[in-house]
Amino acid sequence: MIYEHVNACIKFETERDIAKTTLKELSRYLHELI
């Protein structure tokens, strides 16, 4: 049960990091576009 919770937390953190990175890349791309 605890393992499941930890796994879910890691998955959430990872997805949040990926989203953050994607957002950073996207804003950099838009910045170069303008």
**Residue from 17, 20, 33, 29 nearest 9 by CA:** 17
Whether this model's pTM surpasses 0.85: no
Residue that the structure tokens 């910045």 belong to: 31
Give Cα 24 distance to the centre of its chain.
10
Residue that the structure tokens 């890691």 belong to: 10
Handedness of CA 18, 16, 28, 26 (dihedral sign): positive
Q: What is the mean pLDDT of residues 27-33?
A: 90
2-23: pLDDT as tens digits: 889 999 999 999 999 999 999 9
